[in-house]
Structure 1
Amino acid sequence: MLMAIFFALVALLVAKLNKPEPLEPLIGKAYVIDGDTISIAGNHIRLKGIDAPELTQSCGTASALSPCGQASRQALIRLIGGREVRCASDGHDKYNRGLATCFIGNENLNRAMVQTGQAIAYGDYHDAEMQARSEKKGLWAGAFEAPQEWRKKQEALREPPQQQPNRSADLVDQFVDWMNRVLGELW
């Protein structure tokens, strides 16, 4: 009988931990972190479907490098222009940032970053990227390394990251230990 209660409690705990958070739109003043990430009220939001250069990324050739990561961030700051941003959430990325499509009024910021050549299409907005390419806008005006490829090279230069603790597994382990103590006292 106690084992059945124990397994029922474990099942309820696991179900609670795996329940996704409700996705609600975020609206407010945005702080621009980089060309594809903003923060609204402390919530980091990754602009879905695009990939912008990293802040420390430079583009061009060895003889003519430009800080394209900083330029991408500045382009997003100009697009937002201090106005209220509305983001429609669409899950989370591997860094637990909210994924979203964000707007100023009816203007899609994600698309605008690709149209101006300050980000590349990353699953969406391929038509906007083709237009920016043909017009040689932003990144397409010169040589650059795709942000994803640049990050891979940078990660290879760093030490391997320390494994992050699995909070869900730790909670389950703590619960099991507690149940063992409780059951051990009853036996």
Structure 2
Amino acid sequence: MNRTARVIRDLLLTALIFLFLGLVVVRLDERNRAALSGQARVVDGDTLVIGGQRIRLVGIDAPELRQVCEREGQPWTCGRAAKDHLEALIGEGRAACAADGSDRYGRLLAICLVRGLDLNAAMVGSGYATAFGAYDVEEEMAKRNRLGLWAGTFDAPRTWRRTHGGMDELPHMPNGTLRIMLSRLGDWWVEFWND
């Protein structure tokens, strides 16, 4: 077999392997989707429980319950304030959550709405949570308006957890990220093949 035929064979085999892996990932991604609704109990500024299922608001990171920040030169229990703010946003409303997978702690990663309000975006937009893989626009607005955490000084929740022995986690990938990555890989492959 000549060199050109071997290169073409190897490229086709590589493409088939990527296609197979992509289909497996997309299939697993679809299996992890869930919809939950009901009265939510707030655990902290980015975690809810609905029907016994723990839900982590995807794309955001709120201060931990014990976390203390500073506002106007005074200590401020920002973790407790974040929880209280999320409770106020929910009120007596029923939360509807669309989960797209789970984190390594078994919590569903979800976007949750109450009366049409996106709780994830509202927490970041009000300054009671930071962007953690999504909601960068809301965070910039909260910073500019010095809302919530941005009215004083604070350690990023992830940094605070690391220095206080809490659970560490990586920023969340927004919903559909796997499909977007696979689509870009496919686009790259088509460009490569056409060149």
Conserved 8 A contact 2:93-2:115: no
Conserved 8 A contact 2:56-2:108: yes
Q: TM-score under structure 1 normalisation?
A: 0.70
2:39 aligns with one of 29, 43, 55 = 29
1:103 aligns with one of 73, 91, 113 = 113
Distance in 1, Cα, partners of 2:29 & 2:154: 41
- SS for the counterpart of 2:99 is strand
Alignment map for 1:1-187 (pairs within 5 Å)? 22-60=32-70, 64-155=74-165
Instruction: Indicate the percent of aligned positions where both proteins have the same amino acid.
Output: 44
Structure 2 runs not aligned, ≥5 long: 1-27, 167-195
Give the superposed CA RMSD: 2.0
Letter in 2 for 1:141: A
Compute the displacement of 1:20 (Å): 8.4
Distance in 1, Cα, partners of 2:122 & 2:139: 10
Change (3 A) 1:105 1:154: same
Distance in 1, Cα, partners of 2:119 & 2:49: 14
Q: Which has the higher Rg, Structure 1 or Structure 2?
A: 1
In structure 2, the residue matched to 1:176 is none
Compute the displacement of 1:107 (Å): 1.1
Stretches (4+) displaced over 4 A: 18-22
Number of aligned residues: 139
Conserved 8 A contact 2:67-2:78: yes
Conserved 8 A contact 2:29-2:101: no
Distance in 1, Cα, partners of 2:130 & 2:59: 9
